[in-house]
Amino acid sequence: MSTFWIAVIGSSALAFTTKFLGASVPQSALGHPRALRINNLVPIALLTALVAVSTFADKSRLVLDNRALGISVAVVLLIAKAPFPLVVVGAALTSALAYRYF
């Protein structure tokens, strides 16, 4: 089975398991404040790492390329409170132009 299929099936199965467990465990499991705090921080840590790696990594090298320019525009758009789709399109458009002309 290919890398892609393992990733698709494995992540889907675990995603459903997580959701179903949440809907099924007794309420007393609604936990410790520390666990809740960490749970709120995990997405921040992982999403930030994903932003950094998908912007600056090319396999195991760090690079500064058209993507960095795209993500800078995304940051500006987010600060300006632009809606979600505009942020993605703005970043993509900038990156595409940089890729074409530099």
Partner 1 sequence: MSVKRDSFSVSLTVGAYGSAFGAAAVAANFSVLQTCLLSLLLFSGASQFAVVGVIAAGGTPISAIATSTLLGTRNGLYGLRLAPILKLHGWRRFLGAHLTIDESTGVALAQNKDDDMRRGFWYTGVGVFIFWNLFTLAGALGAQAIGDPAAWGLDAAVPAAFLGLLWPRLTDRKAWVLAGFAILLALSLTPLVPAGVPIISCALLAVIIGWRR
Residues 27-86 that bind partner 1 (CB under 8 A): 27, 29-30, 33-34, 36-57, 59-62, 66-67, 69-71, 74-75, 78, 83-85
Closest approach of partner 1 to the CB of residue 63, in Å: 10
Q: Supply φ then ψ for residue 18, to 5 degrees.
A: -60, -50
Question: Which tokens belong to 5?
Answer: 């299929």
CB 91: neighbour CB atoms within 10 A? 22
Q: Is 101 in the site for partner 1 (CB under 8 A)?
A: no
Nearest distance, CB of residue 39 and partner 1, angstroms: 6
- Quote the tokens at residue 9: 């099936």
